[in-house]
Amino acid sequence: MSTLVINAHPNPESFCRALAESYAEGAGGAGPVDLLHLADLHFDPVLRRGYQGAQPLEPDLVRGQALLQASTHLCVVYPVWWGAPPALLKSFVERTFLPGFAFQYWGRALPDQLLRGRSARLLVTSDSPAWYLQLTGDSAVRSVKTHTLGFSGFRPVRTTRFGPIRTSTPAQRERWLRQAAQLAAQDQRSRGASQAPIQRAT
């Protein structure tokens, strides 16, 4: 079991970073764990030619793809801003989840999912309550869970919400950090009980 934890909050002092570190610590007993803070990476955030031409990957993105390839479980930690994930996460996805790596069309309506055999967990923070986000379409979760990870073959993709962050107390945050570590251990057990073959991109 190899776990990759991605923290997509740009603020190094954010609660998302603390959640990511707590999850990584909780996952450490079942195999190697890599923790990737996207704010520490150096890369062009713009997919300049869309999918119409190649754009060389910077060394940090090459490493990001290698970590994704090596993992059997992925945890992505991010806040909800304006009903969506932060631009930092979208930029990373656009530059790394590329044709031939995450998916591949062969002339059919739906592509081959090149990251099959991996599970995922989303840890999502927000100031808005969960009922409001679900009432308004839950776009911040759906875009990552369904249109990125599900599209690439990750299954299952589980989601845990934390918030409202703005009005939370120190005691609540401590409970949430403990919960993140417990979820990591739970995910390791679930993954170990249903290990599926990993699909390697070519």
> pLDDT tier at 202 (50, 70, 90 boundaries)?
very low
CA separation for the pair 118, 199 (Å, rounded): 8
pLDDT tens column, 34-58: 999 999 999 999 999 998 888 999 9
The structural domain count of the chain equals: 1
The answer to the question of residue 198 being in a domain is: no
The answer to the question of residue 94 being in a domain is: yes
pLDDT tens column, 144-189: 999 999 999 999 999 999 999 999 999 999 999 999 999 999 999 8
The answer to the question of residue 199 being in a domain is: no
Phi, psi for 161 (deg, rounded to 5): -105, 150
Listed in sequence order, the DSSP H helices in the chain are 15-27, 59-70, 87-96, 130-135, 139-144, 151-152, 170-193
pLDDT tens column, 100-139: 999 999 887 789 999 999 999 999 999 988 788 888 888 9
Residue type, 195: Q
Task: Using DSSP, state whether 182 is helix, strand or coil.
Answer: helix
The answer to the question of residue 200 being in a domain is: no
- 199: pLDDT strictly greater than 80: no
Task: Using DSSP, state whether 81 is helix, strand or coil.
Answer: strand
DSSP H/E element including 7 = strand 3-7
Compute how many other C-beta atoms are within 10 angstroms of the C-beta atom of residue 109.
5
The domain of 119 spans 3-193
What is the domain-level CATH number for residue 90?
Answer: 3.40.50.360
Does residue 10 come out as left (phi exceeding 0), alpha (psi in the -120 to 50 range) or beta? alpha
The answer to the question of residue 143 being in a domain is: yes
> pLDDT tier at 200 (50, 70, 90 boundaries)?
very low
The answer to the question of residue 202 being in a domain is: no
> pLDDT tier at 195 (50, 70, 90 boundaries)?
low
pTM recorded for the entire structure: 0.92
Length of the chain: 202
